[in-house]
């Protein structure tokens, strides 16, 4: 054995070595959490795949497309993927929902496409955003059609103009005084009794009742339109601009909203498409956008409605697998 090995074997331990008690104390501190606790955090059971529409876990694999596993729900027959992307699309649900929100808040299709490219590195064309808008607005109309608000007995009607090409159209609106719920919006090339009657019928169908009072400006078409639908049970109040300071304030606030809506409708050349977007705007106004005059609640919340979805992103997620 060499001499340096002998010296190594006979060398003394350092003076600062730990005592047995100190080593035991350190060990207790390090291993004070049981092994089962560590395993609970690091080894979890895999979550079952759930259908995004009905929540069922009775699903089966349904092939692979573009490298993505697809599934089929045995309960509702919806096809979907485990990724948070609408079926058959490439853009995540939150980006699609944000695009719809921005559109109904007044941004153009081009602005939205630019936002997606700059913020999310998602170079979609404005035509793609347009297809999202049409597809999910149609789905939203189906989802919210059965919903009935609890509104007051006083409604306020108004009308404004918009042009498609060289032709003038009228947008008829009727809103509940207390909840600010927009009961109906009606687009028409004419401004007569038939249109006023149609507005009242749409509002009555949505509310499931007739009002006791309808406040309008002095447009003569309202006289017969209200009488034909509600008869003598509803009192028609005509004034200029509107009866009472409260009613005037409501309409003035809503006129600001109408300006936003007009911007939304500007890019459409046909009344047919504009009517669909008008319905989408009603959904956005009533269910998704809080109002300062309602203490940052939506008209739907004030009207006692438990909305099936709370925003456009939830709507896209709910119906995103429908094909």
Per-residue pLDDT of 268-303, as tens digits, reads: 767 888 899 999 999 999 999 998 888 999 999 999
What angle, rounded to 10 degrees, do the helices at 93-104 and 312-319 form? 130
DSSP-derived secondary structure letter, 177: T
Average pLDDT over residues 308-323: 83
Which CATH superfamily groups domain 154-305? Ribonuclease H-like superfamily/Ribonuclease H (3.30.420.10)
Q: Is 253 exposed, middle or buried (0-12, 13-18, 19+ CB in 10 A)?
A: middle
pLDDT of res. 316: 92
Average pLDDT over residues 56-75: 78
Q: In this model, does residue 40 exceed pLDDT 70?
A: no
**Which token pair is 133?**
């808008």
Domain boundaries, the chain: 35-83, 89-146+308-323, 154-305
- Helices (runs of H) and strands (runs of E) counted in the chain: 12, 8
More confident site: 235 or 320: 235
Q: In this model, does residue 137 exceed pLDDT 90?
A: yes
Pair 268, 103: CB distance under 8 Å: no
Within 10 angstroms of residue 288's Cβ, the number of other Cβ atoms is: 22
pLDDT of res. 249: 63
Q: Which helix (H) or strand (E) holds 183?
A: strand 182-188
Return d(Cα 196, Cα 100) in angstroms, integer: 30
Pair 179, 151: CB distance under 8 Å: yes
DSSP-derived secondary structure letter, 297: B
The string of pLDDT tens digits covering residues 74-103 is 888 877 665 556 655 678 888 999 999 999
The string of pLDDT tens digits covering residues 241-265 is 555 545 656 766 666 666 677 777 7
Return d(Cα 323, Cα 320) in angstroms, integer: 8
pTM above 0.85, yes or no: no
Average pLDDT over residues 57-65: 80
């Amino acid at each position: 054995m060499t001499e340096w090995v002998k010296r190594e074997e006979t060398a003394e331990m350092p003076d600062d070595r730990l005592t047995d008690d100190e080593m035991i104390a350190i060990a207790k501190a390090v291993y004070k959490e049981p092994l089962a606790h560590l395993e609970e955090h690091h080894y979890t059971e895999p979550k079952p795949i759930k259908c995004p529409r009905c929540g069922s876990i009775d699903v089966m694999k349904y092939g692979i497309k573009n490298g993505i596993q697809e599934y089929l729900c045995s309960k509702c027959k919806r096809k979907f993927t485990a990724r948070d992307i609408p079926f058959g699309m490439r853009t995540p649900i939150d980006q699609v929902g944000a695009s719809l929100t921005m559109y109904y808040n007044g941004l153009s299709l081009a602005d939205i496409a630019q936002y997606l490219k700059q913020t999310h590195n998602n170079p979609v064309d404005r035509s793609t955003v347009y297809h999202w808008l049409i597809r999910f607005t149609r789905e939203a109309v189906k989802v919210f059609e059965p919903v009935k608000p609890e509104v007051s007995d006083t409604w306020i009607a108004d009308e404004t103009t918009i042009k498609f090409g060289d032709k003038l159209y009228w947008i008829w609106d009727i809103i509940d005084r207390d909840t600010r719920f927009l009961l109906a919006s009606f687009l028409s090339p004419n401004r007569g009794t038939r249109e006023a009657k149609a507005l009242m019928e749409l509002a009555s169908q949505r509310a499931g009742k007739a009002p006791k009072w309808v406040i309008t400006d002095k447009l003569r078409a309202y006289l017969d339109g209200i009488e034909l639908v509600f008869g003598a049970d509803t009192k028609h109040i005509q004034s200029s601009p509107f009866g009472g300071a409260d009613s005037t304030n409501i309409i003035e606030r809503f006129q600001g909203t109408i300006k936003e809506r007009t911007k939304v409708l500007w890019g459409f050349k046909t009344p047919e498409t504009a009517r669909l977007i008008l319905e989408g705007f009603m959904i956005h106004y009533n269910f998704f956008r809080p109002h300062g005059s309602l203490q940052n609640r939506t008209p739907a919340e004030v009207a006692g409605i438990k909305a099936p979805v709370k925003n456009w992103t939830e709507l896209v997620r709910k119906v995103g697998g429908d094909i």
